Every structure is written in C-alpha cells, then in structure tokens.
Amino acid sequence: MSTFETPASRRSALGALVVGALGASLPASTSASATQPKPQENSLPQVQYKRQQVGEVDVFYREAGPADAPVLLLLHGFPSASHMFRDLIPHLAGRYRVIAPDMPGFGQTKAPPRGQFEYGFDNLAKVMDGFVDAIGLERYALYIFDYGAPVGLRLAMSRPERVSAIISQNGNAYLEGFSDEWGAWQTYWRDPSSANREACRASLSAETIEGWHYAPGSDPALLSPDGYELDIAYMARPGAEEIQLDLILDYRSNVALYPDFQAYFRACRPPLLAVWGRHDRAFVPAGAQAYQRDLPNAEIHLLDAGHFALETRHGEIGSYIQDFLGRQLTR
C-alpha cells in the first residue's frame, strides 16, 4: 500500500528537521530557562521584627546584621521608639549585629498599666538589662540618645565589662548640656504638684513633638513626616500621657546620677563618640564637649541638625560610627 504525502505533512516534517538542527547547533546555555534574567540579591541587610518576654514586659525590638558580628545596642529617646533608627540600621548592619528595642511605655513594647508597673528610669534600665540577658548579649557597643542615655549609662555602670564603646547622639550626662528651656520640668521636679504636672502636659502635644523636637535645626526638605507623625500617634494612645508625665518627674533621678555617670567614665574609660545635633533645643553642644572632661580621647562631632539628627543626617552619623567602631573594636 503506497504512502501519500500532503503539502501540510511535508511542511510539518521540514519544520521538525529545522528545529532539530537548530537545537543541535545551539549551546546549552541558550535554553529558555537560562536566558531569563536572574533576580538580583538584595544588597541591604534585612531587618527582622521580634519580641522577647522580660518578666511582665513583652519587649519589641528590631534586629539586623550577622549573628556573629560585634553587637551595637541602640536605645531610643523621648517621645520616640526604635523606629527612629529605621534609616541608620541599614548603614550599620553589614558589619554589626544591630539591635534596637522599644522601652516600656514606648512604641510596640507591651507593659502593664500605671499602678501595676513603675514607669521610672531605674525600672526601664532593669527591663533593658533583663532584655540583654534574655537574648544572650555578653558584650556590646551602646548608642544612647535622649532618654536612652540615662538608661544605657545605668547598664554601663552596673556591668562595665559588657560595654565595648559608647556613641552618644544628643545623649546628655552633664549639667552643661541643658538648655534654658527646661523651666516647667525643673519646677515639677522641685514641686510635683498637680498644677506643675499639668504644666508639663504641653510637652506631649502634637505641636510640641513636631515643632520643638523635630523641626528646629532640620532641613525641611529632608525631614520626613513619618517620624513625628508616628510619635504623635503613639502619644494619643489611652494612658500614654500619664506614663510620660511620670517619666518627666522621674527624670530628676537621672540628673542626680550625673556624678556617678562621670565617675564611671573616669574609672572605666569607655571609647566614646559624640555625634550631636548642634541646634538641639533641649541638649546644647556644651553637653557633647563636656565628655572630654572625663574622657580626654572622646571624639566630638557637632552636626548641622537638631535633636532628632538621624531624621536628616543618618548617612553622616552612620559614617562616623563605622569609622569609630572600625577602629575601636579591632584594638
């Protein structure tokens, strides 16, 4: 029986021959899967968001960087939380294990209400010390800012062997560092009456958070609203203002400890870098320069920024820290 070839079948056979010949002549690397562009690996360290139970406090914290790298513990200030470090962490996490917790009464950390938990600086330091133990930190450099300074320096005094270096960014430890705009707070410290407590409430308003803490000394074109808007939202939570007023009153305990902080500097000689927003309305440049009285080798840099210097100068501050820790932690 004869086989008949139609024009269509001849075309199909010819096409198969051509494809087969081309396939045999092309190198394997030109296969369809190989010609697809490969996804680029993200060069920025990825930040993880974690929680750690410390007694009755559920501490929220941010962490990035290699698990076996030198540790840098970032302690935030008033009225903020660890989100203030959102732009700094990527600068540092390539070489350091960077950890930034929210202290009780701030951010995403969950603590008992007033009356069941003491909102004072000794207790904040106690929780942070428990946090350090719970996540297994044996040695770390400290970044202290605003409220984070008296908390961090309490940690340093109690366990000086753990602290490899200190970075103070508008973190005060000297009377010279106070501006002349602390009148209402100082009156409240001397006389904690209801009237004096109420006079400090203006420090917690949205207008003060943006206009007094963030805006002065900041380039408006570089100042993102994200930072102060989140702080304002945190302050609007039920009970937040009363907690903050308790902490304002207890700030006097920090001032009383300044001689002890300074004695720690002289006795333990921690390497110290001060990167300070020179236009800070709360802590003036003299507070940065005073560190050299007890730590003659302290490195001082005054930046064209305000209290929240990281909002507009995080790249510059990150570079100073990289250089400083690169020299100090390799000695």
Known catalytic residues are: 307
Tell me how far apart the alpha carbons of residues 180 and 139 are, in angstroms, rounded to a whole number. Answer: 37
Contact 140, 155 (CB under 8 A): no
Query: Residue 159: is it exposed, middle or buried by C-beta count within 10 angstroms (0-12/13-18/19+)?
Result: middle
Tell me how far CA of residue 176 lies from CA of 167, 199, 279, 288, in angstroms. Answer: 18, 24, 15, 9
**What is the three-class DSSP state of 143?**
strand
Residue ranges of the alpha helices (H) in 135-282? 148-158, 183-190, 194-199, 206-208, 225-235, 240-256, 258-268
DSSP H or E run through 17 = helix 7-25
Contact 104, 246 (CB under 8 A): no
Strands 272-277 and 163-168: parallel
Please confirm whether the linkage preceding 79 is cis (ω < 30° from 0): yes
**Residue 174 φ/ψ region, left for φ over 0, alpha for ψ in the -120 to 50 degree band, beta for the rest:** beta
Q: Which residues pair with 33 in a beta bridge?
A: none
Amino acid (one-letter) located at 119? Y
